[in-house]
């Protein structure tokens, strides 16, 4: 990850133990980001202080400033880690699958699998979408654009191959609304797991765009 | 409105002019709430100070404390005003319309008509859903429950009358996701007005639940 503290390399004790220490470091970083996510979720980005983050992560205030510089950098790392992970998982899932409807179902499933077990993360991403500035913001925007572009291509592919008639942008954005809004209501005891939800939402959405379209006879 | 300052009644100059002054007052209140919405939208509820709100509304800090007591009360008034307005408009629209599909289309249209011209309000409502405490929170929760309940009934009515097979809770929440998420992407130049959007989303969603269902043959 490009955003590891620059001082780390020089601290490595030896070549052989570097992988083990990198893993430990990644785990520690993941732990810190999880706790920071909780704080941003509860207090909002503006309302959270470095002191709150220090308390929640168990890292000293000095250490937090030393390694992360600012709470903006922590928010950046949360966003980058999340979107990169989702994107990589998605690409792996889509490999070798050609049916356009099945590909959209995999997109939905991948997104829900990640966020059903990470609702706080989804809330922070949704609420702090514009909190990053300049360089950090544009790096995240780039990853998000790629994710959006993949979804748009999946949709256009389906539309072309099935000769369907719907507005791709509205369809993509409607789908993102359906699968992102879950952070406000999803309850595993009531709503089943990510697979159940992905099937139900996939049924509504895919029937909606494949059987519908602007030429639908009973449209009002 | 139950939440007007209590001192107001004693200030009324006379019976005859009371309606005019009430209208002026309502307009002034609406103006203050609009500006407060902008501040909450930009800075987040936690990040906004009474000083920010005073600057944006053009009201003195003392006046703001005198009439609204706290920024929590301002957020409460924004939420109450919004949900009450939407609910009243919806009830008026649904009167005398019996077709269950048409009723859901009117629900979608009413929601989009309000929020397409008030995206900042939608963002504040979504982001500050849990910022109110105790009494204020439960009054808003009551209005929101009624709104949710109406949508659920519309959905169950359609399901019963058409003998359809879908999960009502997932359907209602998917619909709320579609129509609420617009605050992140809607652009009037690209996406048309509320009527265009309501028709497109209505087509996707209604085809999705009326032609689909868990018994769908091409389900994956």
- pLDDT, tens only, A133-142: 888 889 999 9
Instruction: Report chain A residues whose CB lies below 8 A from the CB of B208.
Output: 203-208, 212
Q: Which of residues 121-180 of B touch A (CB under 8 A)?
A: 126-127, 129, 166-167, 169-171, 173-174, 176-180
Output the CA torsion A88→A89→A93→A95 (10° steps): 10
ipTM > 0.90?
no
Chain A residues within an 8 Å CB radius of B191 = 169-170
Distance of alpha carbon A212 from alpha carbon B207, whole angstroms: 6
Q: What is the pLDDT of residue A219?
A: 39
d(CA B87, CA B148): 10
Residue B15 CB partners (closer than 8 Å, separation 6+): none
Lowest-confidence segment of A54-58, A190-194, B14-18, B194-198 by average pLDDT: B14-18
Q: What is the mean pLDDT of chain B?
A: 85
Task: Nearest chain A residue to B205 by CA: give it.
Answer: A208
**Is the confidence at residue A4, as pLDDT, over 50?**
no
CB atoms within 10 A of CB A161: 12
Please work out, in degrees rounded to the nearest 5, the angle formed at the alpha carbon of residue B172 by the alpha carbons of B154 and A218.
60
Instruction: Return the structure tokens found at B12.
Output: 């009324």
Is the pLDDT at A120 greater than 90? The verdict is no
For the four alpha carbons of A207, A209, A210 and A212, in that order, the dihedral sign comes to positive
Instruction: Answer yes or no: is pLDDT of B8 > 50.
Output: no
B43 close to A (CB below 8 A): yes
Contacts of A59 (CB under 8 A, 6+ apart): A32, A53, A67
pLDDT exceeds cutoff 70 at A17: no
Mean pLDDT of B39-66: 90
CB contact under 8 A, B177 and A173: no
Task: Note whether A216 contacts B197, CB cutoff 8 Å.
Answer: no
Q: How far is the C-alpha of B65 from the C-alpha of B59, rounded, in Å?
A: 10
Better-predicted residue by pLDDT, B174 or A4: B174
Q: Is the whole model's pTM more than 0.80, yes or no?
A: yes
Asked whether the beta carbons of A120 and A38 are under 8 A apart, the reply is yes
pLDDT in tens, A161-209: 999 999 999 999 999 999 999 999 999 999 999 999 999 999 999 988 8
């Amino acid at each position: 990850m490009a955003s590891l503290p620059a001082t780390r390399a020089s601290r490595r004790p030896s070549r052989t133990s570097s992988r083990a220490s990198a893993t430990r470091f990644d785990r520690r970083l993941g732990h810190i980001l999880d706790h920071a996510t909780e704080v941003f979720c509860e207090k909002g980005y503006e309302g959270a202080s470095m002191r709150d983050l220090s308390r929640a992560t168990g890292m000293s205030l000095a250490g937090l400033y030393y390694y992360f510089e600012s709470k903006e950098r922590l928010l950046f790392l949360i966003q980058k880690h999340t979107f990169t992970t989702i994107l990589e998982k998605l690409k792996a899932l889509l490999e070798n699958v050609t049916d356009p409807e099945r590909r959209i179902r995999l997109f939905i499933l991948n997104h829900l699998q990640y966020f059903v077990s990470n609702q706080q993360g989804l809330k922070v991403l949704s609420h702090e979408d514009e909190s990053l500035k300049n360089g950090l913001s544009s790096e995240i925007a780039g990853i998000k654009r790629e994710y959006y572009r993949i979804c748009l291509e999946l949709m256009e592919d389906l539309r072309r191959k099935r000769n369907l008639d719907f507005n791709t942008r509205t369809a993509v954005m409607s789908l993102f609304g359906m699968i992102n809004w879950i952070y406000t209501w999803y309850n595993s005891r009531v709503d089943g797991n990510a697979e159940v939800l992905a099937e139900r939402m996939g049924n509504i959405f895919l029937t909606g765009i494949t059987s519908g379209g602007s030429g639908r006879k009973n449209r009002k």
